[in-house]
């Protein structure tokens, strides 16, 4: 890869602000050279995350409004739209079709559509998208409101159908893969179908971290190794591909000079 930054791993969906010690985690990402997208679950959390990560070459804060929180945080939708104007990275946003959140479905859809429209209008935006039990609707709304030239969607922890994954690929979606996804057949079958050029890795930490350590570096490493094994590739070869994919995504979000 080009540039002076070197990457040992990629975490395109991490909740740094939900860790017990965000500063320690940020230090660990820097030390271990893990490129990290620090997603947020409410717009109000974004300014703090931006301050924490402002000096970091490895960690970038994204502004989001998590679909599971839309019921109690709907009033922050205008703040979300405002901050999307200040940030190339948006997440965590999306839809959740689980029974528990079904009653907020209309509000979730409204928030997601408004974020998509705003991102499309501005262009050069990257989205980290939650689509649990709602992948078909997510991909349909992406097709309705965005174009791949302006908005680059990353489907985080994708668990929809293979048919929907194919439509998502046609729409320009990337997929961030975590270790948990590779522990069952559906996940391994999925990653074999995805183009190498659309693969990214993530932790969704702290939700996937075992024990009480912020095991970001070791987790991204084990995910990359497990992915390489499933794809019958060398880990170093896969890491190089992930580097190229990550650089493309960062450039799309306006961080073209990170590796200068």
d(CA 142, CA 95): 12
What radius of gyration, in Å, describes the C-alpha atoms of the chain?
17
**Residue 104: cis peptide before it, omega within 30 degrees of 0:** no
- Quote the least distance from Cβ 205 to Mn ion, whole Å: 9
Min separation Cβ 131 and Mn ion, Å:
11
What does residue 38 show for φ and ψ, rounded to 5 degrees?
-85, 95
18, 39 contact by CB (below 8 A): no
Give the nearest distance from C-beta 37 to Mn ion in angstroms.
11
Considering only CA atoms, which of 188, 196, 128 is closest in space to residue 159? 188
* Closest approach of Mn ion to the CB of residue 103, in Å: 21
| Torsion sign over Cα 224, 230, 154, 66 | negative
Which of residues 157 and 238 has its CB atom nearest to Mn ion in the complex? 157
Q: Which is nearer to Mn ion, 39 or 246 (CB)?
A: 39
Residue (176 or 224) nearer to Mn ion, CB: 176
| Closer Cβ to Mn ion, 92 or 219, answer by number | 92
At closest approach, how far in Å is the CB of 121 from Mn ion?
A: 25
Least separation in angstroms between residue 46's CB and Mn ion is 15
Whose Cβ is closer to Mn ion: residue 40's or residue 247's? 40
Q: Which residue is nearest to Mn ion (CB)?
A: 204
Give the shortest CB-89-to-Mn ion separation in angstroms: 14
Instruction: Choose between 62 and 259: whose C-beta lies nearer to Mn ion.
Output: 62
| Nearer residue to Mn ion within complex by CB, 137 or 204 | 204
CA 63, CA 84: separation in Å to the nearest integer? 7
Applying CB under 5 A, which residues contact Mn ion? 92, 204
Contact 204, 157 (CB under 8 A): yes
DSSP conformation letters of 6-59? --SEEEEEE-GGGSS-HHHHHHHHHHTTEEEEE--SSGGGHHHHHHHHTT-SSE
Asked if 216 contacts 28 with a C-beta cutoff of 8 angstroms, the reply is yes
């Amino acid at each position: 890869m080009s540039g002076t930054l070197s990457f040992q791993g990629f975490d395109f969906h991490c909740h740094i602000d939900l860790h017990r010690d965000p500063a320690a985690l940020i230090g660990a990402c820097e030390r271990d050279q893990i490129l990290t997208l620090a997603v947020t679950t409410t717009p109000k959390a974004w300014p703090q995350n931006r301050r924490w990560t402002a000096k970091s070459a490895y960690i970038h804060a994204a502004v989001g409004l998590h679909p599971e929180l839309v019921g109690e945080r709907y009033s922050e939708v205008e703040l979300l739209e405002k901050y999307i104007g200040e940030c190339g990275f948006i997440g965590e946003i999306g839809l959740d079709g689980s029974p528990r959140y079904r009653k907020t479905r209309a509000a979730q859809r409204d928030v997601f559509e408004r974020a998509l429209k705003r991102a499309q209008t501005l262009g050069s935006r990257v989205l980290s998208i939650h689509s649990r039990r709602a992948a078909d609707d997510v991909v349909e709304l992406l097709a309705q409101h965005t174009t791949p030239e302006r908005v680059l969607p990353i489907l985080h922890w994708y668990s929809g159908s293979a048919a929907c994954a194919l439509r998502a690929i046609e729409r320009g979606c990337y997929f961030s893969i975590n270790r948990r996804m590779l522990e069952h057949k559906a996940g391994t079958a999925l990653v074999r179908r995805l183009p190498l050029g659309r693969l990214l890795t993530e932790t969704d930490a702290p939700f996937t971290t075992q024990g009480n350590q912020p095991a970001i570096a070791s987790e991204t490493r084990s995910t990359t190794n497990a992915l390489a094994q499933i794809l019958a590739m060398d880990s170093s070869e896969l890491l190089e591909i992930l580097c190229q994919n990550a650089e493309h995504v960062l450039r799309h979000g306006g961080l073209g000079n990170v590796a200068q």
